[in-house]
Amino acid sequence: MTTIPLVPVRAREGVCIPLQDGTPATFIAFDGFERHTEHFAIRFEGRKPQAVPLVRLHSECITGDLFGSQRCDCGAQLRQAQELLKEEGGWLLYLRQEGRGIGLFSKLEAYRLQDQGLDTYAANRALQLPEDAREYAPAAAMLKALGCTRIRLLSNNPDKANQLEQAGIEVVERLSTGTFMTEHNEGYLRTKVELSGHSFENL
């Protein structure tokens, strides 16, 4: 198996922040990342913590996470992950990789091309950008800094599990997220299944 090298990072002291429903969550920043990639972790204690923690790697999506965009399923996946983590405990790693790593402005340009008929991957290629520029080695480095090397991964994306394994994190189980289909994102979801091997129920 190919080994992915990691940039060593160090977890800072966590800060407890009560969430909207009052659930306490501990936000943890890291030393070692470049300033413009301020990845962070959120620890949930959980009502029924598991021996092997549940972990969600979530790439930043301003349009979906903050504004509820229906062109993707990111916001819905983030909310589901939080509900599961409140129950089981574990980690949410929030990765600053907007638009599959191409950034917000380029993502908006890709949306414009999608409105003209291109799928999500073809739109990125038309902009001479990678289909998916996300890297999960930073997440592996964060998990190691947190002393968490065996996890249950909440993800439909096989590439996340593969990259984590190559970086020395044992993924003992991969759990699928829900299928959050709307009239605006059905093509987006089907493209993920057909071109990158994502797993969704009923698709």
Domains of the chain: 12-97+134-195 (3.40.50.10990)
First-to-last alpha carbon distance for the chain, in angstroms, is: 31
Confidence of residue 187 (pLDDT cuts 50, 70, 90): low
* Count of residues in the chain: 203
- Tens of pLDDT, residues 138-159: 999 999 999 999 999 999 888 8
| Active site annotation includes 134 | yes
Residue 2 predicted with pLDDT over 80? no
- Tens of pLDDT, residues 80-120: 999 999 999 999 999 999 999 999 999 999 999 999 999 98
Higher-pLDDT residue of 178 and 18 is 18
**Annotated catalytic residue, options 65, 119, 132, 152:** 132
**Annotated catalytic residue, options 12, 134, 159, 174:** 134
3-state secondary structure of 84: helix
| Active site annotation includes 132 | yes
What is the average per-residue pLDDT within 35-45? 91
The whole model's pTM is what? 0.87
Beta-carbon contacts of residue 154 (< 8 Å; ≥ 6 apart) = 54, 55, 56, 81, 84, 175, 177
Burial of 120 (0-12, 13-18, 19+ CB in 10 A): buried
3-state secondary structure of 148: coil
State the chain's maximal CA–CA distance in angstroms.
Answer: 48
